[in-house]
Amino acid sequence: MTEWWLWMYVAAMASGVVLFSRWRADPRGVPPSEYRVAIAVPLWSGSWYLVLALGGGRAEVAGHTLYWARYVDWAVTSPLLLVALMLTATHSLPGRRWGLAGALTGTNLVVFVCGLTAELAADATIRYTLFTMGVLAFLGLYGLIWGPLRTHAQRQPAGIAAVYTEAALLLSVLWVGYPLFWMIGPAGVGLVGSATTSLLYVLLSILTKVGWSILDLGRLRALSDRGHLTVV
């Protein structure tokens, strides 16, 4: 059953690549960079879940199965999703916000490292300490999304600012699932087994990596259709 869900994920990511490639051929005023990011996310993620579906990308550590291919996936796709969100937040603004981009990716790196090292830790105290540190960094990431990044978004026309708010809200809600599933899974308190955790991650990641981009790009394309989007 677990392998079936993994193959479903690979198919979903392939569908996302096809859809965003078709949209890129008819950009409707959305910059090419946004399509490149949207395509790269499911392409990278689907490749590593293909490794999982074929039986690789996992190892036994600390009394449970570590799906290390997921972390290779997250190491790239999480920053890319933040880049996509930042592109929406600054779409019609001149210049680049390299300092804010660095803060977002740096904070995300702390979340990633804490999650991985917590899962590798055999001692429960160390594991939950690292997990707590990751959650605190996670909250810091939300502070950046809803603080300075939202401030930039609000300087744009109302339509684009509204797209940012919707995209940031959806991403914020979806991302809560990752630490939650980690905690209830084998690496945490063990309320659910590896197969159930794998299914939960598959469903959540489809929504995050394809569903979220459909909302973000789809709303920007709709603004262009109504003449409210300008490429800068």
pLDDT at 131: 95
- Least confident residue range of 23-37, 64-78, 182-196: 182-196
Position 231 in a domain: no
Residue 62 pLDDT: 73
Query: Taking 50 as the threshold, does the pLDDT of residue 82 lie above it?
Result: yes
Read off the CATH number of the domain in which 170 is found.
Answer: 1.20.1070.10
**Alpha-carbon span 90 to 100, nearest angstrom:** 11
* Residue 110, domain member (yes or no): yes
The amino acid at 191? L
The reply to whether 133 falls in a domain is yes
Q: Find, among 227, 157, 215, the residue nearest to 34 by Cα.
A: 215
124 domain residue, yes or no: yes
Burial annotation 160-181 (CB, 10 A radius, 16+ → b, else e): bbebbbebbebbeebbebbbeb
Domain residue limits at 64: 2-225
Judged against a pLDDT cut of 80, whether residue 1 lies above it is answered with no
Quote the pLDDT of residue 231: 46
Note the pLDDT tens digit of each residue in 199-231.
Answer: 999 999 999 999 999 999 999 999 875 655 554
pLDDT value of residue 135: 96
Report residue 34's pLDDT band, with 50, 70 and 90 as the boundaries.
Answer: very high
Q: Is residue 7 part of a domain?
A: yes
Please state the rounded mean pLDDT for residues 33-41: 96
Strand partners, 66: 59
Which pLDDT belongs to residue 11?
A: 97
**Does the residue 115 lie in any domain?**
yes
In this prediction, residue 232 carries a pLDDT of: 44
Q: What is the pLDDT of residues 89-114, one digit of tens each?
A: 998 887 777 789 899 999 999 999 99
Greater model confidence, 137 or 93: 137
How many structural domains does the chain have? 1
The model carries a pTM of 0.92
Does the pLDDT of residue 72 top 70, yes or no? yes
**Does residue 46 sit within a domain?**
yes
- Cα separation, 90 vs 94, whole angstroms: 8
Residue with tokens 């990716």: 105
State the pLDDT at residue 227: 55
Q: Quick one: pLDDT band at residue 26, thresholds 50, 70, 90?
A: very high
With a cut of 60, say whether residue 123 has pLDDT above it: yes
Distances (CA, A) of 189 to 25, 124, 185: 47, 10, 6
pLDDT over 70, % of the chain = 95
Six token digits for residue 189: 């308190």
Q: Where are the alpha helices (DSSP H) in the chain?
A: 2-25, 32-53, 68-89, 98-120, 124-146, 148-154, 158-175, 177-184, 194-206, 212-225
Lowest mean pLDDT: which of 28-32, 114-118, 227-231?
227-231
pLDDT in tens, 168-200: 999 999 999 999 999 998 888 889 988 888 899
Mean pLDDT, to the nearest integer, of 111-123?
A: 92
Q: Which two tokens stand for residue 133?
A: 């540190």
- Asked if residue 230 is part of any domain, the answer here is no
